Structure 1
Amino acid sequence: MAPVTFGARPDKSGIEFAVWSSRASKIELCLFDAADHEIERLPMVPGEKDVFQLYVKGAGVGMRYGYRADGDYDPARGLWFDPDKLLVDPYAVEVDRPYVYDARLGARRGEGGDTAPLMPKAIVTALPTAPSVAPPLFQPGGLIYELPVRAFSKRHPDVPKEDRGTLRALAHPAVIDHLKKIGVSAVELMPVTAKIDERHLPPLGLTNAWGYNPVTFMALDPHLAPRGMADLQATTNALRQAGIGVILDLVFNHTGESDERGPTLSLRGLDNLAYYRHEPDGRLINDTGTGNTLACDHPAVRDLILASLRYFVSHAGVDGFRFDLAPVLGRDGEGFNANAQLLAAMRSDPVLSDRILIAEPWDIGPGGYQLGRFGSPFLEWNDKYRDDVRRFWRGDSGMVGRLATRLAGSSDAFIGEKQSRSVNFIAAHDGMTLADLVRYEKKHNEANGEANRDGHDENLSWNLGVEGESAEPRIVAGRAGDQRALLATLFASRGTIMLTAGDEFGRSQHGNNNAYAQDNELTWLDWEKCDLALEDHVAALSALRRSLIALSDTEFLTGQPRNDKSLPDVAWMTETGLPMDEAAWNDPVRRRLMMVLAGAGEDAGRLAVLVNGDRRASTFVLPLRDGYRWLDALDQDASAEAWRLVEGRAVAFMIERRADKGEAG
């Protein structure tokens, strides 16, 4: 496509508007006043490369506008032109109000009337000169904290009421203190761009709480950012000053225009066949489960996505991005291509090439599971890690070898590479919370209004008694111990690690594993009922991980020395201190494992991670070296011993120190 700057660009004399469509016969620019009245409708001038442009002299910053596109209307062939539908500019950087679903937005041509009163209007915004962008703070191997902006702070007692549920809350000192306490390297903000509710939610009295149903890719949701980009800029700056990066979770795989019954809001009305993937007969391809799939191999879509990413880097200074259902970004007519033009452009673009890029490496289309295939520098969510760790702690047989593979960085998923690109996680926004994993064996999504049919049926979860909360001390203690063990496993694993907000202090959604529509106290974090002992445990684990390169390194563990003078990077042992042999690895009932990691230097002490997956306590015999002694890594005042008793279902960390100098490895 031609190097045209799309959207609305103000100067001293007026505004230049530009929008792209290859099939529209006519596009009109509609201007609105602050009272939402349409004050002018102006035909745009078609030009080269299917670009419609218009310069409006005398118009200025703050002008509200939208587009109307006309052309052939034949939905069966994928043509949806309807001048009654007011369309939001795909390049809008601010909208005047949130999107609200109304059935009239999806009415057929000639049946629903003018949708302008129902639609947000784009606001012409003068963006400041982009400052020099600092390098990302976050580096692979750190701790990502996945965070739903609204639910995170809606009930936070220290945040001013007017800021609760917004981006501004994240800049509050109490919030930053919490993030620093648990050692967060970067917050990953679940979608903050403007979205719309799925059409089945309003009749149920529900709303989309997660934000994975976007309309415009650059305009922020007014609920979350009442001051638009200024809120994201201020929050990012405050977090950076505290040493915490910001990663945006963005959705470029579909839009809220949904299937053929969905609303016409923007891309569908401008050029449906170009912006979305279609079957040869004109039917929408649904590789996302949402009704439509963006055609990321089309130049118009590719340019829009790249412009959106550059916008957030240049004007908010974010560290990087996580991409929902990321295989869509690399899909073309032949399937997924890791070297697709869009993915290649992200790697090489001068604005984006140093940013953190994280792929959710699956969608529901053909060949949709692509874990390990995105290539460097992409990090990838690792569901194999999630599932194998859950299976081990649930008590499934034959899991000790797979647990070791996950602890060592999941080299089986990233074949041929030296560094792990794995994002390890136990729980995420999609699924049960970490606390619910040990409370509920089955999902409880009744509140979603779909008769508990939605969400995953297999959660690899367990409970020690009746489902739900129990006051019986033995059960409560057992659940607390299981959570600690899961968290310790996460912090002991090679690769980048991710924790979802509230899992550090035991948040529960009462078994709901698909709470996307629960914008209420089910998902709002209850800060006044947090488990402070569990939170302190996470803080200690995080501090240990940050202090030892043996934990935060991303190189795969191989069992070989890094150089001629060093110890093997890892030794796998039984609880008796003997090397794991073939019989031990293949023992289906083995529940114990010792991982001994080499220190950073020739004389550095080792770190032993003792995993007891049995309900019974076990004594681990530690491997001894002359001139060294073992101490509890989380309580280094504890006396040195050649053995360590590990209570049932727990992970312990032992650090080796030189006996003469008392220096940590």
Structure 2
Amino acid sequence: MTEILSATVLGAAASRPFPLGLSAPLQGDPATVVNVAVWAPDLTELILYFRPPGGAWQAQLLPEFSDGVHHGVVEGMPVGSHYGFGREDVEPESSQLLLDPYARAIDSGEHLLGVRMAADFDWGGDAAPLTPWRDSVIYEAHVKGLTKLHPEVPEEIRGSYAGLAHPAMIRHLRELGVTAVQLLPIHAHLDEVHLRELGLPNYWGYNTIGYFAPHAQYASAAAQAAGPQAVQDELKGMVKLLHAAGIEVILDVVYNHTAEGSQGEPALSWRGLAEHRYYRFDGDPAAGAGYLDTTGVGNTLDFGEPKVIQMALDSLRYWVEEFHIDGFRFDLAVTLGRDAANAFSPQHPFLVAAATSQALSGVKLISEPWDLGNDGWQTGRFPVGWADWNDNFRDSIRDFWLADQGSIANGGTGGGLARLADALSGSTRLFAASGRSQLASINLVTAHDGFTLADLTAYNQKHNAANGEDNRDGNDNNRSWNHGAEGPTEDAGILAARRQSAKNVMATLLLSLGVPMITAGDELGRSQQGNNNAYCQDNEISWLDWSAADQDLFAATRGLVRLRKDYLSAQPSTYPARDETSYLHWFDAAGNPLSPEQWQDGSQRVLQMLLGSPDGVMDGLVVFNGTAEPVDVVLPPLDGREFEHRFSTNASHPERQGSLHRPGSTDQVDANTITIYKA
């Protein structure tokens, strides 16, 4: 048994209960002496077990107990030491010690152990791009999947932090015109039990075991072999290089549950330290109440507990201060706004604190505004300072360009124009209710979860057999359209129609008010073979196949990003959240303002959107033809200028590009297309 050392070498006065985790001591050499503080209010004692590099295991009782925090000063624990917490009878070599929730690095070998780290890194002249919301174009990507098959990235760094920062990858991002990469979780995470039983991994990473530690397996093999410091340095180097290219880094973070899983599974960290405080229970735990789960994964962190709020805020500040992260997307964020009674409030202390924290000033905060609990859908209700994933936008655009078109092609009917116009205007009324403008709307049509853009145009049903759940998992309501053939086809007409639909969706996304988010690979026609829940597919199903890139779709997307920037140049940096103020003007095919009856008429499928600016100058015109036939449209009135044809989602548009058209004249727009003019 490991001998428990005396804890009075430096005296109690040298120890403090903050900050939590490991920190520099008030006295002693910080190279080998460390202050240790762990919140475990219901434990009568807590022992630190640690092993210096090349040394033997040692144990020290944390002698002080202040407001639920066990703390003490420990000598002989230099950087690189492995550590964990346990009882007096624990054998650290053969037992799972309790992991420090604040561990800066995690060794996930046979047992999980924290590692003491240094914060040294040469940031040089690194500066955050601080891209305004109005100018932002977000690119959601997986660190590994993005470059695993990239032929220009050296093989030894493909699928790693270093691979993402390689010049070939940065060149692609800059050519595309995106301003931020939003990375699926890079916090240290584990595979769930049921996946391990199926022989599958948690590829997406939404199963966090450490909110302060990067996922080591996303570093290059060389960095992993060199140790945790090299892993951290590679990640920081990635951020530094992306910043130098003017690209922000946003992290997808999962503070709603942990990798400890359902009640009764082994205690890895929080469950052993303060289970009844960290996790949400459906009643009194002392009376036998079980977990109250609002996340669907078995355990939910209780944001009615101040220490849980503190942990999340401390984590956010750490990633901003130590890794220069520019923003966060919060998975199942409604859970983070639930109080002690499990009710969501836009004024929840965590939501308000994150938006008003000086340390997080200028950092982008993005909610996934739903969870699986009561009143779990809260899009538009998050407070000022937050932006929300806009599922209204997603569903409206999929319906208009895909589900409705599929219905029309099969003799049915489609929806009208009201929902399309609402999406184009950034869901103004939805966000005005919380005092926010259209710039609080993160517009998306696809994301990691669901069909890719290519699969939306190629599959009517999900094809998730590879996930090992008999195709039961994943969403059944995809609002997709296969254009007449399910999956791969050699039919040239179907392939052309699919590409045109993909361009329609991408154009609508990039020409709408709000902040667009592109899913990595959608600009290249990436398919997941119809799998709409590829969370456990760490293989070619999920990895971006650069050799199969659709260069025509990429060119169209790149051009649309540039058109977006051009069209926004004369518009305000923020939009008033008032219904009576509009920079968009709407006309029917005859060039007349739409009547209330036309907005609600499902047979109306042609819309002209004229973009305005604060001084009343009209900047451009976008014509949406959601019918199966070409349509002659009368171009709306303009102040003495002409309309120049800039872009069409029809493949023949280069023949007409640059042609001029007078206001009031008639121009023909092709079936199922978007046509863009510049005033």
- Partner AA of 2:119 in structure 1: L
SS of the residue 1:200 aligns to: helix
- Partner AA of 2:565 in structure 1: R
**Deviation of residue 313 (structure 1)?**
0.5
Q: Are positions 1:270 and 2:276 aligned together? A: no
Deviations 1:289-336 (Å, cap 9, x if unpaired)? 010110122122111111110111101111111100001111112301
Give the alignment partner of residue 395 of structure 2, picking from 387, 399, 414. 387
Q: Are positions 1:359 and 2:379 aligned together? A: no
Q: Go from structure 1 to structure 2 and tell me whether the alpha carbon gap of 1:139 and 1:365 turns closer, same or farther (over 3 Å shift).
A: same
Give the alignment partner of residue 537 of structure 2, picking from 518, 534, 542. 518
Query: How far apart are the structure 2 equivalents of 1:46 and 1:478?
Result: 70
Q: Are positions 1:587 and 2:579 aligned together? A: no
Q: Are positions 1:527 and 2:546 aligned together? A: yes
**Deviation of residue 626 (structure 1)?**
5.4
Q: Are positions 1:211 and 2:219 aligned together? A: no
Give the alignment partner of residue 311 of structure 2, picking from 283, 287, 304. 304
Deviations 1:47-102 (Å, cap 9, x if unpaired)? 2112112322232111111111589xxxxxxxxxxx9541111001112346xxxx
- Partner AA of 2:207 in structure 1: N
Q: State the match for 1:289 in structure 2.
A: 296
**Deviation of residue 13 (structure 1)?**
4.3
Give the alignment partner of residue 460 of structure 1, picking from 472, 476, 479. 479
Give the alignment partner of residue 410 of structure 1, picking from 427, 438, 457. 427
Q: Are positions 1:425 and 2:465 aligned together? A: no
Q: List runs of 5+ in structure 2 lacking aligned partners.
A: 1-15, 25-29, 225-229, 405-412, 648-653
Q: State the match for 1:640 in structure 2.
A: 660
Give the alignment partner of residue 20 of structure 1, picking from 39, 46, 66. 39
Q: State the match for 2:148 in structure 1.
A: 154
- Partner AA of 2:423 in structure 1: R
Q: State the match for 2:463 in structure 1.
A: 444
Q: Go from structure 1 to structure 2 and tell me whether the alpha carbon gap of 1:548 and 1:41 turns closer, same or farther (over 3 Å shift).
A: same
Query: How far apart are the structure 2 equivalents of 1:69 and 1:228?
Result: 31
CA contact (8 A) 1:324 1:359 kept: yes
Query: How far apart are the structure 1 equivalents of 2:127 and 2:306?
Result: 29
Give the alignment partner of residue 320 of structure 1, picking from 302, 322, 327. 327
Q: Go from structure 1 to structure 2 and tell me whether the alpha carbon gap of 1:136 and 1:4 turns closer, same or farther (over 3 Å shift).
A: farther
Deviations 1:441-470 (Å, cap 9, x if unpaired)? 111111100011111111111111221011
Q: State the match for 2:635 in structure 1.
A: 622
Q: State the match for 2:8 in structure 1.
A: none
Q: Go from structure 1 to structure 2 and tell me whether the alpha carbon gap of 1:69 and 1:289 turns closer, same or farther (over 3 Å shift).
A: farther
- Partner AA of 1:587 in structure 2: D
Q: Are positions 1:182 and 2:176 aligned together? A: yes
Give the alignment partner of residue 132 of structure 2, picking from 113, 135, 139. 139
Deviates more, 1:289-298 or 1:393-402: 393-402
CA contact (8 A) 2:52 2:77 kept: no
SS of the residue 1:336 aligns to: coil
TM-score, with length taken from structure 2: 0.87
Q: State the match for 1:127 in structure 2.
A: 119
Give the alignment partner of residue 75 of structure 2, picking from 39, 57, 63. 57
Q: State the match for 1:111 in structure 2.
A: none
- Partner AA of 1:638 in structure 2: G
SS of the residue 2:23 aligns to: strand
Query: How far apart are the structure 2 equivalents of 1:540 and 1:557?
Result: 29
Size of the aligned set, in residue pairs, is: 617
Query: How far apart are the structure 1 equivalents of 2:164 and 2:231?
Result: 15
CA contact (8 A) 1:545 1:552 kept: no
Query: How far apart are the structure 2 equivalents of 1:172 and 1:606?
Result: 38
Query: How far apart are the structure 2 equivalents of 1:594 and 1:556?
Result: 23
Query: How far apart are the structure 2 equivalents of 1:28 and 1:303?
Result: 23
CA contact (8 A) 2:334 2:376 kept: yes
CA contact (8 A) 1:144 1:188 kept: yes
- Partner AA of 2:146 in structure 1: F
Q: Go from structure 1 to structure 2 and tell me whether the alpha carbon gap of 1:231 and 1:600 turns closer, same or farther (over 3 Å shift).
A: farther
CA contact (8 A) 2:189 2:207 kept: yes
- Partner AA of 2:101 in structure 1: P
Q: Go from structure 1 to structure 2 and tell me whether the alpha carbon gap of 1:621 and 1:271 turns closer, same or farther (over 3 Å shift).
A: same
Query: How far apart are the structure 2 equivalents of 1:319 and 1:526?
Result: 28
Q: State the match for 2:63 in structure 1.
A: 45
**Deviation of residue 404 (structure 1)?**
0.3
**Deviation of residue 546 (structure 1)?**
1.2
- Partner AA of 1:331 in structure 2: R
User: For residues 101-112 of structure 1, what are the structure 2 equivalents within 5 Å?
Assistant: none
Q: State the match for 1:173 in structure 2.
A: 167
CA contact (8 A) 1:440 1:511 kept: yes
**Deviation of residue 182 (structure 1)?**
1.2
Give the alignment partner of residue 330 of structure 1, picking from 327, 333, 337. 337
**Deviation of residue 536 (structure 1)?**
0.5
**Deviation of residue 512 (structure 1)?**
0.7
- Partner AA of 2:501 in structure 1: D
Q: State the match for 2:4 in structure 1.
A: none
**Deviation of residue 511 (structure 1)?**
1.0
Deviations 1:18-48 (Å, cap 9, x if unpaired)? 111011122111113557x861222221321
Q: State the match for 1:31 in structure 2.
A: 50
**Deviation of residue 419 (structure 1)?**
1.4
Would you identify which runs of 4 or more consecutive aligned residues in structure 1 move more than 6 Å? 129-133, 556-559
Q: Go from structure 1 to structure 2 and tell me whether the alpha carbon gap of 1:625 and 1:346 turns closer, same or farther (over 3 Å shift).
A: closer
Q: Go from structure 1 to structure 2 and tell me whether the alpha carbon gap of 1:218 and 1:433 turns closer, same or farther (over 3 Å shift).
A: same
Q: Identical aligned pairs, as a percentage?
A: 38
Query: How far apart are the structure 2 equivalents of 1:501 and 1:263?
Result: 36
Query: How far apart are the structure 1 equivalents of 2:465 and 2:340?
Result: 39
Q: State the match for 2:511 in structure 1.
A: 492
Q: State the match for 1:197 in structure 2.
A: 191
Q: State the match for 1:254 in structure 2.
A: 257
CA contact (8 A) 1:610 1:653 kept: yes
Query: How far apart are the structure 1 equivalents of 2:583 and 2:525?
Result: 34
Q: Go from structure 1 to structure 2 and tell me whether the alpha carbon gap of 1:559 and 1:55 turns closer, same or farther (over 3 Å shift).
A: closer
CA contact (8 A) 2:633 2:666 kept: yes
Q: State the match for 2:408 in structure 1.
A: none
**Deviation of residue 397 (structure 1)?**
2.6
Query: How far apart are the structure 1 equivalents of 2:251 and 2:416?
Result: 34
Deviations 1:98-155 (Å, cap 9, x if unpaired)? 6xxxxxxxxxxxxxxxxxxx31321111113897985552321321100111111111
Q: Are positions 1:5 and 2:19 aligned together? A: yes
SS of the residue 1:121 aligns to: strand
**Deviation of residue 554 (structure 1)?**
5.1
Q: List runs of 5+ in structure 1 lacking aligned partners.
A: 72-82, 99-117, 563-567, 657-665
Query: How far apart are the structure 2 equivalents of 1:292 and 1:558?
Result: 40
CA contact (8 A) 1:87 1:269 kept: yes
SS of the residue 1:345 aligns to: helix
- Partner AA of 2:611 in structure 1: L
Q: State the match for 2:12 in structure 1.
A: none
Q: State the match for 1:596 in structure 2.
A: 610
Query: How far apart are the structure 1 equivalents of 2:149 and 2:175?
Result: 20
Deviates more, 1:222-231 or 1:185-194: 222-231
SS of the residue 2:675 aligns to: strand
Q: Go from structure 1 to structure 2 and tell me whether the alpha carbon gap of 1:655 and 1:207 turns closer, same or farther (over 3 Å shift).
A: same
CA root-mean-square deviation: 2.3
Query: How far apart are the structure 2 equivalents of 1:624 and 1:22?
Result: 70
CA contact (8 A) 2:424 2:512 kept: yes
Q: Go from structure 1 to structure 2 and tell me whether the alpha carbon gap of 1:397 and 1:412 turns closer, same or farther (over 3 Å shift).
A: farther
Give the alignment partner of residue 575 of structure 2, picking from 548, 552, 555. 555
CA contact (8 A) 1:257 1:263 kept: yes
Query: How far apart are the structure 1 equivalents of 2:456 and 2:161?
Result: 29
CA contact (8 A) 2:17 2:66 kept: no
CA contact (8 A) 1:68 1:84 kept: no
Q: Go from structure 1 to structure 2 and tell me whether the alpha carbon gap of 1:155 and 1:240 turns closer, same or farther (over 3 Å shift).
A: same
Query: How far apart are the structure 2 equivalents of 1:269 and 1:495?
Result: 44
